[in-house]
């Protein structure tokens, strides 16, 4: 599974970031506290609903919202699958894979396989 793009509308310190990854390998570099780990965690959260600041069921995702907001949203475009989007606003969480039919659970299963 190859990631072709990462879009973060609101995730930790990122708002409105689009990162195209049109190559086989992408190296992320930067100073301490610049967001390298947040990028990795964003991909993990979008695809699985869990990351380093959540528990095994995804509880704690509210800590991923940028300061002063309640919304966490990101999407990852996967080659051959489509755009995967996860959004959390307050207590409500949504997950969708553009172009796939079925409920969120079935779509999540396709992404994780």
* CA neighbours closer than 13 Å in the CB half-sphere of residue 73: 15
Q: In the prediction, which pLDDT does 83 show?
A: 92
Q: In the prediction, which pLDDT does 72 show?
A: 95
Q: Is the pLDDT of residue 1 over 90?
A: no
Q: In the prediction, which pLDDT does 17 show?
A: 94
**What residues pair up with 78 in beta bridges, in sequence order?**
3, 82
Q: In the prediction, which pLDDT does 6 show?
A: 95
**What is the DSSP code (8-state) at residue 64?**
G
The pTM of this model reads: 0.85
User: What would the pLDDT profile of 29-66 be if each residue is shown by its tens digit?
Assistant: 999 999 999 999 999 999 999 999 888 788 888 899 99
Q: In the prediction, which pLDDT does 107 show?
A: 66
Mean pLDDT, residues 4-26 taken together: 90
Q: In the prediction, which pLDDT does 53 show?
A: 87
Helix, strand, or coil (residue 96): strand
Q: In the prediction, which pLDDT does 38 show?
A: 94
Mean pLDDT, residues 79-100 taken together: 87
């Amino acid at each position: 599974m190859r990631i072709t793009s990462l879009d973060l509308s609101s995730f930790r310190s990122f708002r409105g970031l689009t990162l195209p990854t049109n190559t086989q390998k992408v190296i992320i570099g930067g100073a301490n506290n610049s967001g390298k780990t947040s990028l990795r965690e964003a991909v993990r959260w979008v695809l699985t609903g869990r990351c380093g600041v959540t528990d095994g069921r995804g509880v704690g995702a509210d800590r991923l919202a940028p300061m002063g907001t309640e919304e966490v949203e990101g999407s990852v475009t996967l080659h051959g699958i489509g755009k995967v989007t996860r959004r959390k606003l307050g207590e409500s969480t949504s997950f969708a894979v553009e172009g796939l039919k079925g409920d969120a659970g079935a779509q999540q299963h396709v992404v994780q396989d």
